[in-house]
């Protein structure tokens, strides 16, 4: 529904941009939810994005900007000078700001930081120092805090003042001297309490907390376990340094699940979504694993070779040449190459569907670009060619196969890998189109189908070249 709404509004934005209707763009930023504005902006080029964003006030501009994907954010700020960049950074929330800065080249980062006020600069540097996977790296420093001695009435007045600079005012942390975390109270409890009550009487003491150096997954699991909106993050001295909020926890859980799914299918983790990742990076992140797995499969061929030559009980002379021996030795390699490449594609596409906004069963907002499918076939061709080259060399030089025999292996591998990636793309897409769960096209099932294909191709190509 939201996506239909967006499809309706996009042409209007384009028209306003063409006609330079600045008041119209300002109204668009003000009325539509910042997340929805950000998604429309993803479709525009850099200068158009800035034209739209410049029509929004500082606060709103940054809110929209923070909903744009990190990769796109990084591209967008390239065209800003240091002064404009630091102005943007000053308005951004602490966690999003650090994410963006950690993506920028060193020189750019220092240039922007130089213009920012000393105190804020120190805080940014401190946040930048946390390990990427730590709770400290996902927390925000914009929490609401109060002393224990004040009354509920005063607390609510003070929260009004803190609201503009707090990520949430629904959870309030009670701090002692030197920001020591003493207690916790929710806005719900404040609203329900009698106005003259002191916070020390109703606050929850010794609240659950996570250390900034602990893995970010710990913070996410705490939120999941206790159904919190936020969890306090402390330093080694138990001083409050930030909070991790429910939306950060959701991001962490999604990212970790994606990373695990990729690793499990032998794809090195990607920084951005699969769609956003450039071709050369994809080839590297997938290829390095496929090459490694092919080396293991070639060791396997070596083991078969060893046994084959030593098992001569049944025949006077073992099969040492010809297509049958070639297939006996290298069929596992061919099958593994095709199956693994296909599994990678299937996992990448199934995960892409899972992360998409809107209906996972093929709603309007979740159309997969045809160019993405074509890219996948191209990736299969490149990966297959790379593997074939290695297999050819090893079969020829190491196993002492003829050039023709080695060519049969190479030709089969490149074909099987290309068809494997195509099948790994096609079947999940088909199942999704049919309204079924695309994940049913499991990696072993795709591998099993590729196995049959591998046998057929190996024999057919072998017969043509050698027969």
Return the sign of the alpha-carbon dihedral for residues 8, 14, 16, 18: negative
Closest CB to a copy of itself among residues 157, 393: 157
Residue closer to a copy of itself, measured from CB, 116 or 146: 146
Question: Is the distance from CB of 364 to CB of 429 less than 8 angstroms?
Answer: no
Question: Residue 107 Cβ, how far from a copy of itself at the closest point, in Å?
Answer: 32
The Cα-based distances of 338 to 83, 407, 414, 418, 451 in angstroms read 52, 17, 9, 8, 8
Task: Please return the burial class of 222, using the count of CB atoms within 10 Å of its CB with bins 0-12, 13-18 and 19+.
Answer: buried
DSSP lists the bridge partners of residue 171 as: 186
To the nearest whole angstrom, how small is the minimum distance from the Cβ of residue 35 to a copy of itself?
Answer: 5
CB of 426 to a copy of itself, least distance (A): 16
Q: Which is nearer to a copy of itself, 100 or 159 (CB)?
A: 159
Q: How far is the CB of 267 from a copy of itself (least distance, A)?
A: 8
Do the Cβ atoms of 173 and 211 come closer than 8 Å? no
Closest CA to 430 of 368, 383, 339: 368
Tokens of 242: 């930030």
- What lies within 8 Å, CB to CB, of 54 at 6+ separation is 61
CA distance 388 to 26: 56
Shortest Cβ distance from residue 113 to a copy of itself (Å)?
A: 27
Q: How far is the CB of 62 from a copy of itself (least distance, A)?
A: 14
Q: At what angle do helices 246-264 and 216-226 cross, to 10 degrees?
A: 120
User: What is the nearest approach in angstroms of a copy of itself to the Cβ of residue 168?
Assistant: 8
């Amino acid at each position: 529904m939201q996506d239909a709404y967006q499809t309706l509004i996009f042409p209007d934005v384009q028209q306003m941009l063409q006609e330079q209707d600045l008041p119209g763009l300002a109204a668009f930023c003000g009325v539509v939810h910042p997340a929805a504005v950000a998604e429309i902006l993803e479709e525009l080029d850099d200068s158009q994005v800035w034209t739209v964003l410049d029509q929004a006030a500082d606060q709103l501009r940054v809110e929209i900007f923070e909903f744009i994907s990190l990769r796109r954010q990084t591209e967008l700020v390239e065209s800003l000078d240091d002064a404009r960049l630091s102005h943007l950074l000053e308005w951004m929330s602490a966690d999003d700001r650090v994410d963006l800065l950690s993506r920028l080249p060193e020189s750019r980062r220092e240039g922007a930081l130089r213009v920012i006020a000393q105190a804020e600069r120190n805080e940014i540097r401190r946040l930048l120092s946390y390990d990427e996977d730590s709770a400290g790296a996902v927390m925000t420093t914009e929490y609401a805090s109060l002393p224990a001695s004040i009354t509920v009435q005063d607390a609510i007045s003070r929260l009004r003042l803190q609201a503009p600079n707090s990520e949430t005012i629904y959870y309030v942390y009670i701090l002692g001297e030197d920001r020591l975390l003493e207690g916790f109270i929710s806005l719900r409890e404040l609203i329900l309490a009698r106005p003259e009550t002191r916070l020390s009487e109703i606050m929850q003491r010794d609240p659950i907390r996570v250390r900034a150096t602990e893995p970010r997954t710990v913070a996410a699991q705490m939120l999941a376990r206790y159904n919190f909106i936020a969890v306090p993050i402390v330093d080694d001295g138990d001083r409050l340094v930030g909070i991790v909020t429910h939306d950060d926890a959701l991001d962490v859980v999604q990212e970790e699940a994606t990373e695990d799914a990729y690793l499990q299918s032998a794809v090195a983790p990607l920084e951005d979504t699969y769609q956003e990742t450039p071709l050369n990076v994809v080839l590297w992140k997938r290829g390095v694993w496929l090459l490694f797995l092919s080396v293991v499969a070639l060791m396997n061929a070596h083991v078969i070779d060893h046994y084959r030559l030593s098992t001569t009980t049944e025949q006077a002379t073992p099969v040492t040449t010809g297509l049958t021996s070639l297939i006996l030795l290298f069929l596992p390699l061919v099958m593994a190459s095709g199956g693994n490449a296909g599994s990678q594609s299937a996992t990448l596409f199934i995960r892409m569907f899972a992360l998409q906004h809107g209906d996972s069963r093929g709603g309007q907002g979740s159309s997969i670009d045809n160019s993405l499918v074509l890219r996948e076939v191209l990736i299969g061709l490149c990966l297959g060619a790379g593997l074939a080259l290695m297999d050819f060399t090893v079969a020829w030089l190491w196993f002492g196969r003829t050039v023709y025999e080695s060519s049969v292996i190479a030709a089969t591998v490149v074909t099987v890998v290309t068809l494997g990636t195509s099948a790994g793309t096609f079947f999940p897409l088909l199942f999704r189109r049919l309204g079924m769960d695309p994940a049913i096209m499991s990696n072993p099932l795709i591998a099993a189908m590729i196995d049959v294909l591998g046998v057929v191709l190996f024999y057919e190509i072998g017969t043509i070249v050698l027969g």
